[in-house]
Every structure is written in C-alpha cells, then in structure tokens.
C-alpha cells in the first residue's frame, strides 16, 4: 500500500499533463479522480492482496512505456 499513493499521484499528474497538451481547454481530472484512483488501489490491496503487486507492476510498466512513446 506504500506505493499506491505515489502511483496514484503520478497517474493523475501524467493524465492531466496529456489532457492539457492534447485535450480541450477545459479538460482536467479533478481531485475526485485522484481519490477514485486511490480508492481503487485501496480496494484491490485490501480484498485482493496477491493481485495488488502485479497490478502496480503493470501500471508502472504502462507509465514507463507511455512516457517513452510520447
């Protein structure tokens, strides 16, 4: 669970960065989106603890591939 908050923050910032570049002027994921991501990570970590490290690994690999591609 320690890595869930930084991962959620990175996803939120990266998504908003790309929305600011390619989206319309009012494209932005607010703080509710950030809390939704944290809530999803918390749900998975509490109820599916064996899946959680695999999920975070896939998210981080996706972030790295996405940033290299863009």
What is the per-residue pLDDT for 47?
Answer: 92
pLDDT tens digit sequence for 52-69: 889 889 988 988 888 787
- DSSP letter assigned to residue 23: S
Using DSSP's 3-state secondary structure scheme, residue 69 falls into: helix
Does residue 44 contact residue 36 with C-beta atoms inside 8 Å? no
What is the per-residue pLDDT for 61?
Answer: 92
The crossing angle, in degrees rounded to 10, of helices 52-69 and 4-22 is: 30
φ and ψ at residue 25, rounded to 5 degrees: -60, -25
Please give the structure tokens belonging to residue 18: 């790309």
pLDDT tens digit sequence for 7-24: 888 888 888 887 877 777
């Amino acid at each position: 669970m320690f890595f869930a908050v930084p991962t959620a923050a990175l996803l939120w910032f990266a998504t908003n960065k790309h929305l600011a570049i390619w989206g319309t002027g009012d494209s932005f994921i607010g703080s509710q989106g950030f809390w939704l991501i944290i809530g999803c990570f918390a749900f998975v970590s509490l109820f599916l603890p064996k899946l959680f490290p695999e999920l975070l690994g896939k998210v981080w690999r996706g972030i790295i591939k996405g940033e290299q591609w863009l």
